[in-house]
Amino acid sequence: MNKWLKSAAFATLMCVGVAASAQKYNGLIDKSVAILGSEMISLSDVEAQAQAARAQGYAADRCQILEGMMQSKLFLAQSRLDSLVANQDQVMAQLEQYTAQTLTMVGGEDNLSQYFGNKPLYKLRQEWRDQIEEQTLVQMEQQEISKKIPEITPYDVKQFLDTADVASLPVVPIKYQMSQICVYPDREAAAIAVKERLLSIRERIINGERFATLARLYSEDPGSSRKGGELGLASKSIFWPAFSDAAMSLKPGTISQIVETPDGFHIIEVLEKKGDMFNARHILIKPSYTDEDREKAFKRLDSLRTAIIDSTITFELAARFFSEDPATRTNGGQMADPSTGSAYFEIDQLKPQDYTAIQDLKVGEISLPIVSLDNEGRDGNLVYKIVRLDKIVPAHTATFESDYTELLGIVRNTKTTEAINKFLDEKIDTSYIIIDPLYKDCEFSRKGWSQKIRKE
């Protein structure tokens, strides 16, 4: 049930936690290790970032960490000179999301205070808010630098191709263009069957059987079923709204009616509530479909496939009249990547079932009926379909004629990187910067940093 926590959020959590009190590093008490104008970086800040990197499985190179932090401080200082202002509504929204994730991670406000060296939540929220606002301003300043880059023209792209080493040009992977006709199983009948099953389980609980035992036996949530359905104390904001609304309305020890979410159908028992957090057990059962559903859908799709092959009807017309997928039937069944809108798919963008269906087809051929998933909900809903392979674009080195959009992005990114590098080099050269001799042996990526190290 819990939505995955972002690794960046965990890194920030570790940074605040380590910086919460003075540390000793090889006998050295915490101190300032870099000053950039009015901005300061402490040793504990660097060590916090190092610990966060280790926690995520990355190498904790303190030279790279310090350099990254100093670069951020330069962007931050310029953002203030440019009078940039972070959108406070967005900052607060991120703060609320991060606070909820953190409280869930550590198991509630009592554990939070202990984790962060007895700091109260209101102080931690202020620190987090300041960090989020600074991160936002850094990103805004980088966008400002990017905006000053002249618009990329076809001439720029052509010049890039003419001057680039052929071996360094990107290789565009093989891409597929496809169309589909979809038929869904009888969702209503499957939902009724799940509800009847859950009602039976709920009645057994009310009659004295243990919720936890039945959750282990029947729940289809692998993350919680082995724990008797228990989810742990968590913020209501990390659950589907229907689930959290139902849980928050229950008194501890009572059993909910059936609750529907994109994951399936649930019954819930609340164990504990603290403010906007709760600990609950649940039993999740997802709709399932029978062989009869599959055979019925396959028979219908096979008939359509035969009619198309026999030229009784075109694929496009069949899709418009008979496909049950609203996203593709209006354009004759042509599939598009929901995240980009592109009609071309690389292999790793295809659902495994769809790729298996088309991998041996020739252009213009139609697959046999298959079982696949749509793009709805968390994992997709079961759907039956036939797929026509419309076009194959072989893997090739990018060209101006075929891959202008991809090359335009590469040129834009290259010019943005150049502008960012120019900004940083100029700021390092002209800004008041002092770096502690502790980092005198660092091989910074920008030579200007080394000239700012204080003499011992």
Q: Does residue 456 carry a pLDDT above 80?
A: no
Contact in structure between 414 and 160 (CB atoms under 8 Å): yes
pLDDT given at position 102: 83
* Span 69-110, pLDDT tens digits: 999 999 999 999 999 999 999 999 999 888 888 888 877 877
Same domain for 208 and 267, yes or no, is yes
Q: What is the spatial distance between Cα 110 and Cα 92, in angstroms, rounded to a whole number? A: 23
Instruction: Answer yes or no: is 315 within a domain.
Output: yes
Average pLDDT rounded to a whole number, residues 360-384 = 90
Indicate whether 160 belongs to any domain. Answer: no
Decide which of 250, 285, 320 is a domain's last residue: 285
Q: 61: domain range?
A: 7-150+416-450
By mean pLDDT, which of 201-210, 255-264, 369-378 is the weakest?
369-378
Cβ proximity of 416 and 190 under 8 Å: no
The mean per-residue pLDDT over the stretch 177-192 comes to 94
Question: Which range (48-52, 252-256, 366-370, 405-409) has the least confidence?
Answer: 48-52
What's the pLDDT score for residue 29?
Answer: 67
Average pLDDT over residues 132-153: 94
Examine residue 161 and state whether it is found in any structural domain, yes or no: no
Q: How far, in Å, CA of 375 to CA of 382, rounded?
A: 10
CATH number at residue 296: 3.10.50.40
Of the candidates 416, 313, 326, 424, the residue with the CA atom closest to the CA atom of residue 71? 424
Please check whether residue 115 lies inside any domain of the structure: yes
% of the chain beyond a pLDDT of 70:
92
Q: Which segment of 24-28, 365-369, 405-409 scores lowest on mean pLDDT?
A: 24-28
**For position 339, what pLDDT does the model report?**
79
- Please say whether the beta carbons of 135 and 378 come within 8 A: no
326 belongs to a structural domain: yes
pLDDT in tens, 282-314: 999 999 898 899 999 999 999 999 999 999 999
- Mean pLDDT for the chain? 88
pLDDT at 429: 94
pLDDT at 56: 65
Query: What pLDDT sits at residue 203?
Result: 96
For residue 455, the model assigns a pLDDT of: 82
Nearest to 180 by CA among 393, 362, 390, 391: 390
Alpha-carbon distance 7 to 381, whole Å?
A: 28
What is the reported pTM?
A: 0.68
Transcribe 292-333 into DSSP letters. Answer: HHHHHHHHHHHHHHHHHHTTSS-HHHHHHHH---HHHHTTTT
The residue from 237, 265, 285 where one domain ends is 285
Asked if residue 408 is part of any domain, the answer here is no
Residue with more model confidence, 348 or 24: 348
- What average pLDDT does this structure show over 423-439? 94
Question: What pLDDT is attached to residue 25?
Answer: 54
Is the pLDDT at 179 greater than 80? The verdict is yes
Residue 28: the pLDDT is: 60
Per the domain annotation, does 320 fall within a domain? Answer: yes
Same domain flag for 133 and 54: yes
Average pLDDT score over residue span 14-31: 51
Number of domains in the chain: 3
The string of pLDDT tens digits covering residues 52-66 is 677 667 778 999 999
